[in-house]
Structure 1
Amino acid sequence: MGNTHPGATSPLGMVSACAYSGAYPTGYGRYAKSTEGVPEELFDRLQASGFTHFQQSGTGAIRKYYNYVRVTPMVQPLDVLGDAWPLHEEVAEPGYYAATLDTGVRCELTVGAKVAVHRYTFPECGSARVVVDLSCGGLAIELGRTVPLRAQVESMGHGRAQGTVVMEGVPLSVYLEVDSPGWRQMLWYDRRLVHGGTRLDFDSIRHTTLRPFGLMFMGPAAAGQAIEVRLGFSLRGCDQARDNLARECGQGRPAFDAVRTRTRTRWGAHLDRVQVEGGTPARRTVFGTALYHALIKPCVTDDESPFWPASGPYAFDVCTMWDIYKTQLPLLAAIAPDRAVDLLESLIRVCEEEGNFPIGYRMARGADRFFRQGSALVHTALADAHALGRAGLDWNWALVHMVDDLRRLYGEDFFEHGVVHPISHTLDLAYAHHCTAQVARALNDRRLAEDLAERSRQWANAFDPATGLLRDSEFYEGGKWNYSFRLLHDMAARIALAGGDQAFAGMLDRFFGFGAAPVVQPGRRPAVAEMAAGYALNRFEGLNNEPDMEAPWAYHYAGRPDRTAEVVHAALTWQFGTGPGGLPGNDDSGGLSSWYVWASLGLFPVAGQNLFLVNAPAFPRSVLRVGGGEFVVETSGHRETPIGADGLDRDPPVRYVQSATLDGEPLAAAYLSATTVHRGGRLHLRLGPEPSAWGRHPRPPSLSDLPPNPEEPR
């Protein structure tokens, strides 16, 4: 259910490549679409009909699934194109994927920033083929197909070809070079060769009129002969696709090993930004995999926007802000700060061009706004970037769009009435006003800042004082219990509204099931009544539910960091593993994996508040490389705790923070400013087996009760 794929990717890169079976949701694998319970099998084996480009990663019901430009090595006639063959001997590494088809062809894929390179090693065959299908798109599930609107393909001779397919309003262009000396090169349509033709044009394609089309390279192959296929991609035409290919692969020579090495080096540079010491092999494997998954999406590329002519970054597969703004964007800000700024610049440009900040944005015309999920979430990332002093953004330009966006969609009702339904959007909009006020104040627009700050206090309108929970409303993938423990900008007032520390902590205890009987998880095809009964428990669903990701840290604000330690420790221990099903739900483009990274380091970012909460880490020592320095988290009294899947101690003890120092000075508070973390330092945590008084006071900062110097708590 993690819904990731093992294909070749580059860190936050434009292109991915993977085996294609048509399964949900990435195109790789065996499973059918499932949004509740255990997925059913679509195929009874791991198989592929070829290898496609541009995959989702970790998403759920995203509706559009890419898998464009399928390349298939064949030793059979063209008539069987689309058949799938079993996969064997799979290998997956950063920037590299390989498998052997049941036909005996060894298939290797690697990618660069804007290119993909395939290498196929054939068995002896008198008529081997490499078939390129430009009509492919989507999945083999109901309503999963993506059909090109228009297309053109041109054979240019001597192992060269180019084409453009307009998918969902985006002109995706590809320029190909194929190293196949002596092979014939032909166009095909509807699985039949087009003799003598050099170009196919389709001015209008519909679901009812689509027939597959593309190119084929065919000739004899000696046993062990390798054929290299190089593909340059662009969203700005075939000429730019050709230039992209030449820039990364050179011209007319094998490039597979060079591209693979460069991408592996890029991955090493990114993954090296976070290092951990100790831990069981299983825990280290899960941590490394989580860090890798956190760096696949969003896709950020330069000078490729098909919608505006200006140069600069273009980002897609922001799927979605609701999934990534709390955990993944703060991680990118720490370990890939330049790309994080590029992402924000692109989102500002989308707002300028299309009229609002998107909640979700794919490689498609028109932002997928996902307006039911949330409102005004980009504001949190912008506020954090400004607080960290990120260069490269025109902050006056950004502020204009932040303010304008607050009045769009649900924002107009919030402006007029101070409350909006779905009620969770009231919290979103109040928080966005707070974030925007911080930027306005820093830019010396005090009147604007005061007006925004006043409206930010309307978060309280969302709560029922009689229950301390959100008012009855509709909720997206959750209920009022899930959404009631959000880390607001005024948690002191939020806790007071619930009746004080003890009452608030008691509500959290009920939510997390302290003292309650275990619940039964849904299986295949859970009935509506079964799911309704589960939701009616008003319990923590798991970290796969985005509103629940930050809930364990709400205990910090009630003076109970020991409870945070217990919940986070249980999640790290029991909800993640190394085998199939090793993620407790959709990875959501890296949001869930980013949660695991932060929790393992003993830190949690409070997005939009320039703040980190501190907790007992999963490793005895870790290093986060930020800017030009390092932020080190080290412990004494640490005890290794296995994760649930490795078959060791079944009842690992929780470790609680007993005391802490920051750069050698005592630290009484269970929080740090993000500015402190990003400039580097050394946090030492002394751990023990019993809860302590550490971290109960002072509390993390709240708008109504800010400490004198929240940046350097002692």
Structure 2
Amino acid sequence: MPPILHSVDPFIGTAATDLPPARGLAATWWWPKPQVGNTHPGATSPLGMVSACAYSGAYPTGYGRYTKNTEGVPEEMFDRLQASGFTHFQQSGTGAIRKYYNYVRVTPMVQPLDALGESWPLGEEVAQAGYYAATLDTGVRCELTVGAKVAVHRYTFPEHNNARVVVDLSCGGLGIELGRTVPVRAQVESMGHGRAQGTVVMEGVPLSVYVEVDSPGWRQMLWYDRRLIDGGTRLDFDSIRHTTLRPFGMLFMGPTEPGQAVEVRLGFSLRGCDQARQNLERECGSGRPAFDAVRARTRVRWGEHLDRVEVEGGTPARRTVLATALYHSLVKPCFGDDESPFWPTPGPFAFDVCTMWDIYKTQLPLLAAIVPDRAEDLLESLIRVCEEEGNFPIGYRMARGADRFFRQASALVHTALADAHALGRAGLDWNWALVHMVGDLRRMYGEDFFENGVVHPITHTLDLAYAHHCTAQVARALNDRSLADDLEERGHQWRNAFDPDTGLLRDSEFYEGGKWNYSFRLLHDMAARIALAGGDKAFVDKLDQFFGFGAAPVRQPGRRPQPAEMMAGYALNRFEGLNNEPDMEAPWAYHYAGRPDRTAQIVQAALTWQFGTGPGGLPGNDDSGGLSSWYVWASLGLFPIAGQNLFLINAPAFSRAVLRAGGNEFVIETSGHRETPIGVEGLDHDPPPQYVQEASLNGEPLHATHLSADTVHRGGLLHLRLGPEPSAWGRGIRPPSLSDPGTSSEVAR
């Protein structure tokens, strides 16, 4: 197994942020959004359909102790870590997603059925990639593993005359206000010999499960409203409402010897119980028990995926954070091949795209590099969603209806499609994709943009102008020049979003953040954008103000921050330190003004002070892996510019790294690299940054601060000589812009 697999810690991000007080530049950044990673430590498979974890009902994954919060440090729902059983399908790192899953709760019990739903203290937790274990204070040791479409539980009971495994098909959602998900229809069937099956329709999706329990000599029964139905073999429910729901499910019951293990195997499908059974047979095989075999195969899959990024050097803490960030980047989206409940044909079906706003800048380019086939499958699935439902979703859940999150952003899928086309991904029907790209530009806020050239919230003007530019690149490559010219002309309308008197966005409403957070987006014409701000110096001065150069340290919001405290923080107009999505790409804006040294200072400060080991090691919501993907790219010294077939270069955090993009290896090696610890290792000062002094690509001098994505994906050797002082490297040749594409041949490498 690759060494990086052994460094993964799935507990990172599961608790409220608990990082050492930052020093230097990072101490001036202000975090208004929730200070908690919102990840879970449950068993997952790389980009698999199923996850499994202990269930307490807490926000937002069902695991843990916290209630819902939108700012500051989260409050606790419970004063202990506890669980009422183990559920399936969890979010990862999201905030107010309003879709919480946690379906099919399995509870090992030594109490009567009346106790179902109670929570018991949870201890002795262990979490690894593909495996989770804990002990309930009832004395039952609980182990979970998953495959792509299956989950396998193993419960080791104490001696008991009447042990039980209870499967609750009515469970869904969280224990917070308005957090419950209730099935509208359901069917459960006991098939004898330790087998049962059922289907629940949740938010328009029929989720089916086929269950096998290794419990020779045990009785099995259906139950309803915590009462056994002796002799009954089938339950059917129609028109369930919150007011009429009574819990229901299946139960397996019998005596246990000390240390006796009972295995529960669950196959899932969105296309009926027969397919759920086939999925179980395919992944668990005919051998019984199956737990160890499924766990081993999933661990191998994790090793194969994590091995696509390899690093040398780094402190143990830095390596743990990187390994876990890569792991979190590969938990979502969920793929259920041949499982779409909305169209009958085979092919990829992806859900838990939560949301494009969170992942399009960082995670989608990472998936395109290290799992290109899955990245292509995601785009095919999103094209099919657009075909079936009429729009590209901003967010897409396991629910009927594209959950657009339209207030967040507009037309973000276009960036990933433009990148995929530039990389020559031949598996998509590009003429058909272009039809949907063009059509989607006129939907939602796009209609006003088409009519007026500007739309509020003003950030949607930037989104739509950029999407027009991305679509124009695809149209031009497909030789539709008239369409490309028209789209590109509308792409120039990003200018309408800016106030030339301030060089910032116009006053408007903003989704999380303010105009300073969104004013430093990396547009397709950064040369013109910098000129609009008054030139390099004026632009850099504004960036310096935004990033807090020369500013005093600030205090972060605590629990229940008062409105006056929050207003004062927002008035700083300050970088929100990766606690907010719009800021993720802003450090690299300096590259376009010839100041990559500033980027180096900011990125190193973030890598040093904003990430750590332990449950509190993330500065904010991981957002389905979007934040973790930022960490991976920043550690490698590369940053993707979504939609532009472009990477920007910065000083890496490791002395050497290998990115296995498809079948090729892109190596980033350094000379003069200095190992630096991170804050959780007891730093009492802000370590000085490292700067690129000179660079070469495949042995040839590289004077530009950028590479084409094609270059990275083809593989090669990027050598960076680092030093303790800023240099002239990168000050002359800027990354390409639409109005100034650059003259260096290095742009096209």
TM class, shorter-length: over 0.9
Matches of residues 184-583 of structure 1 in structure 2 within 5 Å?
184-251=219-286, 253-583=288-618
SS at match of 2:436: helix
Say whether 1:70 aligns with 2:113: no
Q: For the structure 1 residues 710 and 504, does the alpha-carbon distance in structure 2 shift closer, same or farther, using more than 3 Å as the test? A: farther
SS at match of 1:384: helix
Contact kept, 8 Å, 2:694 with 2:703, in 1: the verdict is: yes
1:594 to 629, 632, 635: 629
Matches of residues 616-695 of structure 1 in structure 2 within 5 Å?
616-648=651-683, 650-695=685-730
Read off the aligned partner of 1:689 and give its amino acid letter.
Answer: P
Say whether 1:123 aligns with 2:158: yes
Contact kept, 8 Å, 1:149 with 1:206, in 2: the verdict is: yes
Q: For the structure 1 residues 252 and 195, does the alpha-carbon distance in structure 2 shift closer, same or farther, using more than 3 Å as the test? A: farther
Task: Give the CA deviation at 1:34.
Answer: 1.1
Contact kept, 8 Å, 1:641 with 1:653, in 2: the verdict is: no
Task: Give the CA deviation at 1:423.
Answer: 0.4
Q: More deviation in 523-532 or 414-423?
A: 523-532
Instruction: Determine the C-alpha separation between the residues in 2 that align with 1:580 and 1:628.
Output: 34
Contact kept, 8 Å, 1:127 with 1:219, in 2: the verdict is: yes
Say whether 1:94 aligns with 2:129: yes
Instruction: Determine the C-alpha separation between the residues in 1 that align with 2:746 and 2:242.
Output: 58
1:29 — aligned with what?
64
SS at match of 1:302: coil
Say whether 1:52 aligns with 2:87: yes
SS at match of 1:432: helix
Task: Give the CA deviation at 1:623.
Answer: 0.4
2:215 — aligned with what?
180
Q: For the structure 1 residues 61 and 374, does the alpha-carbon distance in structure 2 shift closer, same or farther, using more than 3 Å as the test? A: same
Give a deviation string over 1:420-474, Cα, whole Å, max 9, x none.
Answer: 0000000000000000000001111111111111110000000000000000000
2:54 to 11, 19, 39: 19
Instruction: Determine the C-alpha separation between the residues in 2 that align with 1:711 and 1:243.
Output: 52
Give a deviation string over 1:112-134, Cα, whole Å, max 9, x none.
Answer: 01000001111111110000000
Say whether 1:703 aligns with 2:734: no
Read off the aligned partner of 2:583 and give its amino acid letter.
Answer: D
Instruction: Determine the C-alpha separation between the residues in 2 that align with 1:530 and 1:198.
Output: 59
Instruction: Determine the C-alpha separation between the residues in 2 that align with 1:712 and 1:478.
Output: 33
Instruction: Determine the C-alpha separation between the residues in 2 that align with 1:587 and 1:252.
Output: 38
Aligned residues: 714
Percent identity (aligned) = 87
Contact kept, 8 Å, 1:626 with 1:678, in 2: the verdict is: yes
Read off the aligned partner of 1:205 and give its amino acid letter.
Answer: I
Task: Give the CA deviation at 1:87.
Answer: 1.1
Instruction: Determine the C-alpha separation between the residues in 2 that align with 1:9 and 1:570.
Output: 31
Instruction: Determine the C-alpha separation between the residues in 1 that align with 2:478 and 2:193.
Output: 59
Q: More deviation in 643-652 or 602-611?
A: 643-652
Say whether 1:82 aligns with 2:89: no
Task: Give the CA deviation at 1:281.
Answer: 0.4
Instruction: Determine the C-alpha separation between the residues in 1 that align with 2:406 and 2:277.
Output: 38
Read off the aligned partner of 2:177 and give its amino acid letter.
Answer: E
Contact kept, 8 Å, 1:602 with 1:614, in 2: the verdict is: yes
1:163 — aligned with what?
198
Q: For the structure 1 residues 713 and 156, does the alpha-carbon distance in structure 2 shift closer, same or farther, using more than 3 Å as the test? A: closer
Contact kept, 8 Å, 1:631 with 1:677, in 2: the verdict is: yes
Contact kept, 8 Å, 2:340 with 2:349, in 1: the verdict is: yes
Task: Give the CA deviation at 1:630.
Answer: 0.5
Instruction: Determine the C-alpha separation between the residues in 2 that align with 1:342 and 1:710.
Output: 33
SS at match of 1:109: strand
Read off the aligned partner of 1:185 and give its amino acid letter.
Answer: Q
Normalising by the residue count of structure 2, what TM-score does the alignment of the two structures yield? 0.95
Normalising by the residue count of structure 1, what TM-score does the alignment of the two structures yield? 0.99
Instruction: Determine the C-alpha separation between the residues in 2 that align with 1:57 and 1:309.
Output: 28
Runs of 4+ in 1 over 6 A off after TM superposition: none
Task: Give the CA deviation at 1:710.
Answer: 5.8
SS at match of 1:407: coil
Contact kept, 8 Å, 1:469 with 1:480, in 2: the verdict is: yes
Instruction: Determine the C-alpha separation between the residues in 1 that align with 2:552 and 2:683.
Output: 24
Contact kept, 8 Å, 1:642 with 1:649, in 2: the verdict is: no
Instruction: Determine the C-alpha separation between the residues in 1 that align with 2:283 and 2:52.
Output: 16
SS at match of 2:93: coil
Read off the aligned partner of 1:604 and give its amino acid letter.
Answer: F
Task: Give the CA deviation at 1:252.
Answer: 6.7
Give a deviation string over 1:465-489, Cα, whole Å, max 9, x none.
Answer: 0000000000000100000000000
Contact kept, 8 Å, 2:735 with 2:747, in 1: the verdict is: no
Read off the aligned partner of 2:406 and give its amino acid letter.
Answer: F
Contact kept, 8 Å, 1:671 with 1:713, in 2: the verdict is: no
2:189 — aligned with what?
154
Task: Give the CA deviation at 1:707.
Answer: 1.8
Which structure would you say has the larger RCO, counting Cα contacts within 8 Å and 6 or more residues apart?
A: 2
Contact kept, 8 Å, 1:58 with 1:587, in 2: the verdict is: yes
Instruction: Determine the C-alpha separation between the residues in 2 that align with 1:605 and 1:485.
Output: 16
Task: Give the CA deviation at 1:90.
Answer: 0.8
Could you list the runs of 5+ residues in structure 2 that have no partner in the other structure?
A: 1-35
Give a deviation string over 1:25-47, Cα, whole Å, max 9, x none.
Answer: 00000111111000011111111
Give a deviation string over 1:263-307, Cα, whole Å, max 9, x none.
Answer: 111100000000011000000000000000000000012100001
Contact kept, 8 Å, 1:276 with 1:621, in 2: the verdict is: yes
SS at match of 1:313: coil
Give a deviation string over 1:45-67, Cα, whole Å, max 9, x none.
Answer: 11111000000000001111000
Say whether 1:584 aligns with 2:619: yes
Task: Give the CA deviation at 1:103.
Answer: 0.9
Task: Give the CA deviation at 1:215.
Answer: 0.5
Contact kept, 8 Å, 1:162 with 1:238, in 2: the verdict is: yes
Q: More deviation in 682-691 or 704-713?
A: 704-713
Instruction: Determine the C-alpha separation between the residues in 2 that align with 1:252 and 1:143.
Output: 43
Contact kept, 8 Å, 1:20 with 1:50, in 2: the verdict is: yes
